[in-house]
A and B are shown apart, each in its own frame.
Chain A
Amino acid sequence: MKYVDEFRNGQQAQEIAKKIAQLVEELGIDKKKPLQFMEVCGGHTHSIFRYGLAQFLPDEIEFIHGPGCPVCVLPMGVIDDCIAIAEKPNVIFTTFGDAMRVPGSQKSLLQAKAEGCDIRMVYSPLDALTLAKKNPDKEVVFFGLGFETTMPSTALTVQQAAKEQVNNFSLFCNHITIIPTIKAMLDSPDMRLDGFLGPGHVSMIIGTRPYEFIARDYQRPLVNAGFEPLDILQSVYMLVKQLVDKRCEVENQYKRLVPKEGNRAALQAIADVYELREFFEWRGLGSIDHSGVRIQPKYKQYDAELKFDLPKQKIADPDAAQCGEVVTGVIKPEQCKLFGKSCTPETPIGALMVSTEGACAAHYHYGRVEIPLANLGK
């Protein structure tokens, strides 16, 4: 763990930490009411835990782990729909590995596979398309999920399928979109956020403009952040600095990857293939208006939702599960009644326990490890 050690003992991290502490002192924050910054992206959640970043920050700053781990917010009904497709005769159902263990109301995709369904893990939607070409007598379905980071990949795959007329391929589209989601967080009465770490890889696609309403209409700062530990600390510094200066802006710490205008080719593919749904159901958060996309009518023959009869049932999370409260920052993962008891990474009840980008799994794996820190001069 050369890099991790270097980072933990490194000069730079300690210097930033010191500067953050000074700024926080200037603000005169009450320890009982710490500043709350939401990291929207699961990649950040992962880095924060992996490097024990909270320990570099004064007690007056708290990370709220947002909804940005796409597998964590998949409702159980969607997993049931996937299994319903996979159970049909002649279907090869393909998905990213992350989705395999998310619990549905009866079982996960992994369990369905063990029971004999032809479910295969693929690295890329392009591999699913190749599989369709290799198996012309089968229906190959790809389960598309994720925010704008993965959306271009499935959009380009659908375009390619159309171009080559691979008609035994379809996409079960469960992509979600970031802006309406952040807006819903801001509108939620439970939430009292002081700023956002913007999701670097989503921003690489959509650019920085779409976030401007957050600063303008909600008076909250947002800093687009990279994923290395120093990136995150620096972004926190930039957020606190804005508060000290009484500014509210969209800033870009991750300039080396995030162009202001986003990625044109990717945005064109998204606009060509998808359209907004009226609403999308989230695990733990309920329904959020315009937060999901579906396939446009012109590509309807590649839409698994139209090709197959789906149960499309709304299934409530188990009563004791408090995933919604964790995602909105109302409670910490370990405060959930099931945390580490009936809900563990081996036997997840909520999806936040499945992926290491989920707040509960990250907390379970790394949150309890005591990390010796060099004197930060706090």
Chain B
Amino acid sequence: MCLGIPGQIIKITDPERQLATVEVSGVKREINIACVVDPEQPIEHCIGYWVLVHVGFAMSRIDEEEAAKTLAILKELGEVQEVLHEMQESNKSLSQ
């Protein structure tokens, strides 16, 4: 739950609600990016950012190299899979 997982912002889906599609280890999911938006820049500026995602919110920017390294470790520990599983379960909860 407190685990952050790196992902890349690939598309802004709802500028008003500050939602974007973020790709986390091959899986795309809608994420709130309010905490990483630069108020001086248009929101589209965030496309391409690597971010640390906590429970559906991008909480901080990270550099690409750091993201790759963190992902590799988390994958090896089985923790990426766990988060992806949680996302899947959540989709099931929504479609019940």
Name A residues whose Cβ lies closer than 8 Å to a Cβ of B. 1-4, 41-43, 50, 70-71, 94, 96-98, 120-127, 130-131, 134, 146-147, 149-150, 152-153, 156, 160, 201, 204-205, 228, 256-257, 263, 265-266, 269, 357
Contact = CB atoms under 8 A, between A and B. Distances in A.
Contact of A125 (B56, B72, B86, B94): B56
Central interface residue in A50, A134, A204, by most chain B CB within 10 Å = A204
Contacts of B69: 228
A122 B90 contact: yes
A149 B62 contact: no
B17 A160 contact: yes
B87 A123 contact: yes
Given A152-B35, A205-B59, A98 B96 contact: no
Contact of B1 (A50, A71, A256): A71
B90 A123 contact: yes
Interface string B1-19: 1111000000000000100
A1 B76 contact: yes
13 contacts: A42-B2, A121-B90, A121-B93, A123-B83, A124-B56, A126-B32, A146-B1, A153-B56, A156-B32, A204-B59, A204-B60, A256-B63, A257-B52
Nearest to A357: B2
Interface of B: 1-4, 17, 30, 32, 34-37, 52, 54-57, 59-60, 62-63, 66, 69-70, 72-73, 76-77, 83, 86-87, 89-90, 93-94, 96
Contacts of A121: 86, 89-90, 93
Contacts of A256: 62-63, 66
A134 B93 CA distance: 12
Contacts of B89: 97, 121-123
Given A3-B72, A127-B90, A70 B1 contact: yes
A70 B2 contact: yes
B46 to A, nearest CB: 13
Nearest to B30: A126
Given A201-B54, A204-B60, 9 more contacts: A3-B76, A70-B2, A96-B1, A121-B86, A149-B4, A150-B2, A263-B60, A265-B34, A266-B35
Contacts of A122: 89-90, 93-94
Contacts of A204: 52, 59-60
B55 A96 contact: yes
A42 B1 CA distance: 11
Contacts of B30: 126
Contact of A150 (B35, B55, B62): B55
A43 B56 CA distance: 18
Contact of B59 (A43, A126, A266): A266
A371 to B, nearest CB: 15
Contacts of B4: 149, 201
A341 B2 CA distance: 29
A147 B54 CA distance: 12
Contact of A153 (B55, B76, B77, B93): B55
B56 A123 contact: yes
Given A43-B2, A150-B2, A156 B57 contact: yes
B55 A125 contact: yes
A224 to B, nearest CB: 13
A134 B32 contact: no
Nearest to A122: B90
A94 B17 CA distance: 22
Nearest to A265: B35
A265 B77 contact: no
Contact of A257 (B2, B17, B60, B96): B60
A213 B59 CA distance: 26
A151 to B, nearest CB: 10
B13 to A, nearest CB: 12
